Structure 1
């Protein structure tokens, strides 16, 4: 399966950062310069950069440029964040709209997070999640195809966790989560019906089965004024 061009560029930039081409806090070249360097359109280059921003590898500074992100102080969170359960517990009706849904070769980041090997395939899906028909978050979820090969699309897109437990007979384990702040890009603003530059809460989560095997890598962007995280110790 051919790897999309923007994922190829994502992989190359990520590798160059890991190899020290750009230090933490360094500004990377402009989109126009990188597009020329990789011989791709600005749109393709921008998609690769946005994917790295969503993963927390790069960060944008309005009016300044794009920089290699520094490590952030992390607060340990307990429990697995399930949008469906959270929404239902608040007496609201959860729903979702699938933006894209397809099998693909994993990016380097996805391979690392999901402990995949060369030749493994993943299901990558993008969804908008709603509470009482109001858009709350945009989510990109990556799942090893072997985990969901016996589930249908409706099962996976409506409530993956429920389908894995009830139809695949799998038991869910812990999740590693990180939350940070960012501003809504033009794409996210359009999908979530907010102004560009609005406050966004970014959640990155790797969820595991009870045997410790990671089965899901999710990058979610929540509208700051419509959602908050509540943690109990």
Structure 2
């Protein structure tokens, strides 16, 4: 009696697996008829839907994906295309679709104002560090209007905004569509330098009493504050690294 029980359980389990396979095959055949897909493509979509249902994607989005893929397969199978070659293994295709929203968000261009703010803060920090070092090692060289607090502020704002425009004008998408890449690059660089020099010249016309030079310690404190502000905003806004 003890030997028969495990055998009966094994036989029952095998029958259940066979029944499950028959149901799956029937479902695939039914799907092939209703969707007008070949048996291979219908089988792929059957397993794809099962795997997709286990993800956290909204049911509406899942239905859209299945409908789009079914329509595409229906059209391309006329030329002998099979789903596995078109989309790859089911697990990889599902993983690609699940990760797609995150990748799209990561590749989304950063707003112009955010790029300008980030670059402006970087330039402010760099100028503060430079002025502080000059002040500590050569006090006479920094006591000029060119190193005043207003010069620091204006040049940082202009440089930050100019660099944001520079990065936007020379983005990979725009450069790929441009026929004269080097000319565009030199033009953008020249425009940035000219605007910065003009702003620098205009701020030099401001009377000294409105553009006083700060002490090296003050510039050091401003650099630390600027670094802290940028670190906080980077965590809050998520500044993206701009590349060409």
TM over 0.5: no
Question: Which structure dedicates a bigger proportion of its chain to strand?
Answer: 1
Larger radius of gyration: 2
Q: Tell me the TM-score normalised to structure 2 length.
A: 0.19
Q: Tell me the TM-score normalised to structure 1 length.
A: 0.20
Instruction: Select the structure with the greater relative contact order (CA < 8 A; seq sep ≥ 6).
Output: 2
